[in-house]
A and B are shown apart, each in its own frame.
Chain A
Amino acid sequence: MTPNAAVRLRRLTRHHRDVHALDGVDLDFHAGTFTAVMGPSGSGKSTLLQCAAGLDRPTAGTVEVGGVALEGLSERRLTLLRRDRIGFVFQSFNLLPSLTAAQNVALPLRLAGRRVSRPAVREALARVGLAGRERHRPGELSGGQQQRVAIARALITRPAVLFGDEPTGALDSTTSREVLDMLRDLVDRESQTIVMVTHDPVAASRADRVVFLTDGRVAGELTGPTVETVTARMTGLETDRVGASAGGAAC
């Protein structure tokens, strides 16, 4: 409804065979804000992110990114849009093992057929604190460093939104904090829009807003979250769920 929504989801539904991963989700992610999406395992939060980022196609409903509807785009158009407007960071980094850090960062631009300037790549790596590591391959970098290469790669095209699917999930708490500081910085200083799925209340508390998901539906949200309020809300959701499914496996 607000004019400055970077991502707008309407009646978003996604079925995997007979499992309703998403069941009519309406959400707006505003430009220049940092949103965390939380929910128990199987609540559909990763599916939500992949649909919003155009990596997966919803069964029904619409996705708009920066005012462009993704519905009905060919795989090629969708890829081009993703390449230009959307950055994505995964839990498992997803770097190409055969390419160096600099080559990995430059890959989206090279795939788009654009000229890649060496200083731009060096600057992108410097921005995530990896100056001087251009020639290292992923195997020679620590987990935190690899995730920072992935973030630099996601940002090289100056996307409208940066999506993160548990970006700190594979990192220890210190490295995790460094990466979160960096993401917070990007929002505060460069007005980057970030949407992040996480199960970690500490990570979620760094966002401006936390959206809670259960069984493919929005179950509430918090603005200005703290570790305590997030943890309390999550505990409440999980006990509700266990109670509802009468002790059925939650995972």
Chain B
Amino acid sequence: MAVLVLADHKDGGITQPTRSTVAAAAALGDVHVLLVGEGAAAAAPAAARIAGVAKVLTGAEAPVLAEPLAALLVSMAPGYSHLLAPASASGKNVMPRVAALLDVQILSDISGVVDADTFIRPIYAGNAMATVKSSDAKKVITVRAASFDPAPAEGGSASVEAAPTAADPGLSTFLGAEIVKSERPELTAARIVISGGRAMASSENFAIIEKVADILGAAVGASRAAVDAGYAPNDMQVGQTGKIVAPELYIAVGISGAIQHLAGMKDSKVIVAINKDEEAPIFQVADYGLVADLFKAVPELEAELAK
């Protein structure tokens, strides 16, 4: 049986977490990708080119709501052994609803596939990894994208067809969205991330990190403490209850390294920490640690990188 991946897409492109989900799904069967929401048709060609995708299905162009989308997925479920989505806000919103409608227990945020029934997932903020085997006939899964190398964006040539329609149960209405527009790469997709902690002391001071991000083409993140203090908006939060990232390079500036933050970035390939407290826990996980005042070190870093 085939497996279905519910894709996240933006501006005609497929998100990197979705490609990671395709990679995870490829181990389980032929991959079909479902695109719904505004811009679905425009993103279909990009989806069709992802290596390993066999078929792309495009659905309604209306703003995505959990209830009608879950109804659609449930109607399509008989054709699939596994239904997957990235563990994005969207995937986490709809997939548990789908699972309950199918009377199966969801497998949230998997970081490994052992076989068609067995998966690895983090528990206790990633302080433990559980290998779980599902006894359900159908599996509903969200995927921790940072744990799977994304399927290449080119190489596939899938067919594109219309997804079936499903009735909207009319339980909710979409009123609007305030999406932050940014030139910078998206946090979960960026190759390099530089994050600021509470030691940044103000939102204005984040500008010194942003200058480094601009030179590196990096995304900018923040610790929960910085977000709670109002120095950064919530969509920049990296951590157990924020975004989980695993870039090639993660630079933690003025971040102490609380467990909850580490849970969001400890799978980064290379971690750099800049902190004036040499006892800060972040140094336990940093590949390279610089004990220095960030207000001196970061501008120096900007200058050094510009050379």
Indicate whether A and B interact. Answer: no
